[in-house]
Structure formats: structure tokens, C-alpha cells
Amino acid sequence: MSEELLITAAVNGAETNRRQTPYVPYTPAEIAEEAERCRHCGAAMVHVHGRKPDGDATQDRQTYRRILQAIRDRTDVLVQFSTGGAVGMDIEERIEALDLKPDMATLTTGTVNFGDGVFMNSLPQIRTVAERLNTHDVRPEIEIFDTGMVDTALRLVDEGLLEPPLHFDFVLGVPGGMGGRAENLEFLVSMIPSESTWSVAGVGRHELPLAKKAIEMGGHVRVGLEDNIYVSKGELAKGSFELVEKVVEMGRAEGRDPMGPDRAEEMLRLDATER
Ligand code: KMH
Ligand code: ZN
């Protein structure tokens, strides 16, 4: 297997906070510094969430504008915006930054229990996000937290709202969602059209074992403090870059070097950006 490996760093998320780890970036400058470190270590893309200076999650357009600019000023890494935001956010608020034309943005194709909360994505809401992505010509990464979400993504293809080839990210191990067992990943991969590309994002202790499994299966990997804050049992990662380093090592052991942003752009059929 010689296909290069796409590593996406989910550097902050909406939920990871400073009470859990001092290393989670909040401000645009902090996010950009971390993005640069992750790129240096082997990530081709960063998945980012807006945060207020006190750490509260925000989908505010100005915050995303500053994040995008700060990252572009420092590094050529691809930038993927979250449209999920945090549990309980209004759908319009979640997509107000898409006109800034990030390289990619997420699209979750279903509702899932998310810890004690509910991450709401009704069919009309999913269509709203897909339409807005299309309006601004932003390619989606389809976030799958459970099996029915794959079927819904395929339904959106039939409706003309999603254009294949699709790129999926299987987020496994969220309390309330599909668990982090390797068989779950195998099943999800069996469901998607063969021309699709995919990555896995294992949550918590599932992150690195699922990364290894995905590498062996020919898929790609998302890691970072959004999903897991430990680099080994009981040891906090000093940033998402340490998790990226681990995945680079795992990839190389299987003959898969990390791909750069140019190759990722080509594989994911993104419009070439000036970087
Ligand atoms: N924070 C979660 C409720 C995404 O980024 O699009 C949703 C999430 C998915 O993180
Ligand atoms: Zn996210």
C-alpha cells in the first residue's frame, strides 16, 4: 500500500477546555500557531472551531475570519471549518462563516446523542447546510457518527445536494454515538461508494488504535485535542501536533508518508487555493 496518508488535525473542537488541558488553543493566534506546528509535523489539513477568549464555543463569522487569516498568514495547511459548532446552536449560526470560503467544511448527516446532550441535524437542517456549502462552492467532509448517517448522505446524492466522489470522516466513540470498535469502522467502510475517500476520528482512548486500523485499511486519519487530549495513558498531549507525530510514525511503519496540502487538494477535489 503506497497511497500517501492524509492527516487532519482537529486542534480545538467546541468542548475541549482548559480545565481538561492547558494546551487547547482558543484565540485565532493560538489556533494558527498550533496549525503551523501540526503542518510542520505532517498534517495537511486542520479542522477548526471558533472559540471566545474565555473558551466558550462560537460560530461567529468574525471569529472564523480571524482564524482563517491568522492561519493563512503562517502556513499553507488546508483549513476546514466546523458547521457543527457546539450542541444546542442554531443552524443559521452554525453556517454563517461559510462565505469566507474555507478549503472545506463539515456536514453531519444525522442527529446523535452527544454525551448528555443531543447534536441536532434534522433532514431539513442537513439540506440547509448542504445548500449553503454548494452556494459558496465549499466541499464537505461528511461527518458520520452512526450508520444511518451514511444512508442519509447517499440520499442527499440522489437529491442532487451532494456531488460524488464523497469524503467521509467516521467519528467513533462519542458517548451516545457509534462505538470505537474496529468492526464498526469496517462496516462503515463497506457501506460507502467505492470511489469515496475516508478518514477516521477515534474519540478518547480509541483515537490512536483506530488511526492504526485506518492506516492498515488504506483510509486516512483525523487526530487532535478535539477528540482526545492524551498522547499516552495519563500523559497529556502538549498540543495536537504530538498526536500528528504519532500518526506520522504509524503511517511510515506501513509505508505511507504523510501527504502535503497540494496532494490533499487533488485527492479531495478542492479548488486550488492561493497559499
Ligand atoms: N461539537 C460537536 C457537537 C463538527 O465539527 O462539525 C459537533 C462537531 C462536529 O464537532
Ligand atoms: Zn468539530
Task: Respond yes or no on whether the N-terminal peptide bond of residue 258 is cis (omega within 30° of 0).
Answer: no
29 lines ligand 1 (CB under 6 A): no
Q: What is the mean pLDDT of residues 80-85?
A: 99
Average pLDDT, the chain: 97
245 lines ligand 1 (CB under 6 A): no
CB 102 within 8 A of CB 80: yes
**Cell 442537513 belongs to which residue?**
126
Please tell me the distance between residue 243's alpha carbon and the centre of ligand 2 in angstroms.
16
- Specify the residue with its C-alpha closest to ligand 1, atom 10: 84
145 lines ligand 1 (CB under 6 A): no
Residue 273 predicted with pLDDT over 90: no
Using a 10 angstrom Cβ sphere, with 0-12 exposed, 13-18 middle and 19 or more buried, the burial of residue 3 is middle
What are the angstrom distances between the C-alpha of 225 and each of 63, 114, 129? 20, 17, 25
Q: What is the mean pLDDT of residues 33-38?
A: 99
pLDDT on residue 274: 67
Residue 275 banded pLDDT, cuts 50, 70, 90: low
Residue 2 predicted with pLDDT over 60: no
Please tell me the distance between residue 264's alpha carbon and the centre of ligand 2 in angstroms.
19
CB 226 within 8 A of CB 21: no
pLDDT digits (tens, 9 = 90+) for 43-68: 999 999 999 999 999 999 999 999 99
141 lines ligand 1 (CB under 6 A): no
- Specify the residue with its C-alpha closest to ligand 1, atom 2: 86
The cell for 24 is 487547547
Residues 6+ apart with CB under 8 A from 81: 48, 64, 97, 98, 100, 102, 104, 105, 106
Residue 204 predicted with pLDDT over 70: yes
pLDDT on residue 1: 46
- Three-state DSSP class for 141? strand
The span from the CA of 72 to the CA of 20, in Å, is 28
14 lines ligand 1 (CB under 6 A): yes
User: Which domains are assigned to the chain?
Assistant: 7-267 (3.20.20.70)
Strand partners, 105: 81, 140
Residues 6+ apart with CB under 8 A from 231: 237, 238, 242, 243, 246
Q: What is the mean pLDDT of residues 261-268?
A: 97
120 lines ligand 1 (CB under 6 A): no
Residue 271 banded pLDDT, cuts 50, 70, 90: confident
81 lines ligand 1 (CB under 6 A): no
- Specify the residue with its C-alpha closest to ligand 1, atom 8: 84
pLDDT on residue 272: 73
